[in-house]
Structure 1
């Protein structure tokens, strides 16, 4: 990250973390559109995969790994900050404590499910994209972006639904929620594909970098590049 050529890496990492925090805030609203039931977090959460694709394709898996963990830390900060804020006694003239807790609060189970799913899905997405880039010698970018997202979002959605709602809903309902959310996320990625391709091409020119992970240690818990 200290490489002076990487002048756009920090802004992208900041936007990546911002989408994760917005997703936590929006996750509490469940909506139904066109027969599909899903969390309102779908509005912004797929952006994290777009940014993850950009980071891996331009800067490499190791850089993306550090940003993924930074995003995880940002989520922890939000949860701790909210917990403290909710626990503080409200002012006598402020009647919105219950609404504050209802709108912004999430159960420990849902928070654990979301953060576990996020880590697994993002790392799978980045790993698949990096490996496919090596196998294809950097070709077929659009195909690689979609394929990595299909797998990453599939794992993310499956883990979240099972951990958050397993034992609460029946198998049919769980599968319906998984399929609906997964389809929407993949559709979101495909719709954003032209923008992703333009952004990646622009960054490669601006940064003078097109990283190939030939000697990369893909251990997700290694924080050094």
Structure 2
């Protein structure tokens, strides 16, 4: 059941990236980076079993962040992609600070939400540190690698630069995040299992996003052709 749900979730999320990009253009990609980054940092708290392995739930949404930055880099240039990365970084910092402030308010006598907020967001500073470090290193590497391979492949072989840049960047991200977020939280064998399986599942979603980036390129090409004709 988990496997089918996870795969359906991945396809849905990647599809929505293309749909929103088609409807709203570049602003949608910035919005998706922020939305998925915030939500995956909550979902990552949940560990699940997939194909007999333990992994975190947030890997689907986080993988699609790479698709959004690759789309920004492909169609709007390296500076636009970097702006998206820095926007996500700034919003994650704000969310961390704001939720820590929110938990400092004394709850009313009949409040029932505070313990749940503490259970989720009490871990957020450490998760945010892990996410920020992993996010910046991996995303900046992804942008650099994407354009490195683009210079060598030209306009062709989109699948190659998309996958080469993302697969290495996802490895950096998984290693940095898991070591900072979960060191001392899980026993070493579980930590290693989470790191490996998290990367493998992210790598699978990264490969899965290849037809979606081609679909997005086809949409953009059609729109630009129509604009030139009119």
TM > 0.5 fold call = yes
Alpha carbons 2:29, 2:69 under 8 Å: kept:
no
Alpha carbons 2:55, 2:193 under 8 Å: kept:
no
Q: How does 1:125-136 map to 2 (within 5 A)?
A: 125-136=142-153
Please give the secondary structure, in 2, of the residue aligned with 1:38.
strand
Map of 2:154 onto structure 1:
137
Q: Quick one: higher RCO (CA 8 Å, sep 6+), 1 or 2? A: 1
What is the TM-score of this pair, normalised by structure 1? 0.82
Gaps of 5+ in 2: 1-23, 226-230
Aligned residue pairs, count: 202
**Residues 9 and 99 of structure 1: is their aligned pair in 2 closer, same or farther, counting only changes over 3 Å?**
same
Q: CA deviation at 1:132?
A: 0.4
Q: CA deviation at 1:190?
A: 1.6
Q: CA deviation at 1:170?
A: 5.6
Alpha carbons 1:58, 1:204 under 8 Å: kept:
no
Distance in 1 between residues matched to 2:126 and 2:28, nearest whole Å: 31
Alpha carbons 2:138, 2:169 under 8 Å: kept:
yes
Is residue 61 of structure 2 the alignment partner of residue 44 of structure 1?
yes
Q: CA deviation at 1:187?
A: 0.6
Please give the secondary structure, in 1, of the residue aligned with 2:49.
strand
Map of 1:20 onto structure 2:
37
Structure 2 counterpart of 1:123, from 140, 146, 160: 140
What is the TM-score of this pair, normalised by structure 2? 0.81
Gaps of 5+ in 1: 1-6, 209-225
The structure whose residues are more often helix, as a share, is 2
Two-structure CA RMSD over aligned residues (Å): 1.9
**Residues 107 and 71 of structure 1: is their aligned pair in 2 closer, same or farther, counting only changes over 3 Å?**
closer
Query: For residues 152-200 of structure 1, what are the alpha-carbon distances to aligned partners after superposition, in whole Å with 9 as ceiling and x for unaligned?
Result: 1000001111222335556544332211001101111222221221113
Map of 1:220 onto structure 2:
none
Query: For residues 54-96 of structure 1, what are the alpha-carbon distances to aligned partners after superposition, in whole Å with 9 as ceiling and x for unaligned?
Result: 1111111111011100110111111112111111111221123
